[in-house]
Amino acid sequence: MVKVEKSNQKINPFGGINFTINAIKQIGIPELIDNQLGKRVSQAKYSYSDLILNLLGVFFCGGDCAEDITDHLKDYLDAVPGTKVANSDTILGVLKSLKTDKQQVISSTNYKQC
């Protein structure tokens, strides 16, 4: 006899993202990101690690750009427990604030790196 079980959980085509995000959290990547980049202002709703995990989630789910989080993936990433999902404008604005000027480094072998 087949047993049918009723479930209230949402069906997520990106169910594997739960395991990926949890593995990233378990090895301490979010703490590393926040320790290296520091804390955001107290009014900020999202930490640097939240925003970078959002962007990673987009790419792990097959997205091509940050706008995919707002257009297609927000509901699916919201379903990952313990994850705060921002919109693409927030993610891109924070990434823009982190950019630095281009630096040219010349190694001892005269190989130029940018």
Average pLDDT rounded to a whole number, residues 26-42:
94
Q: How far apart are CA 71 and CA 64, in angstroms?
A: 12
pTM attached to this predicted model: 0.76
pLDDT at 4 over 90: no
Q: Tell me what percent of the residues of the chain surpass a pLDDT of 70.
A: 90
What residues have CB less than 8 Å from 78, skipping those under 6 apart?
A: 85
Q: What angle do CA 80, 83, 89 make, to 5 degrees?
A: 115
Q: Which of 27, 19, 84 is nearest to 54 (CA)?
A: 84
Residue type at position 37? L
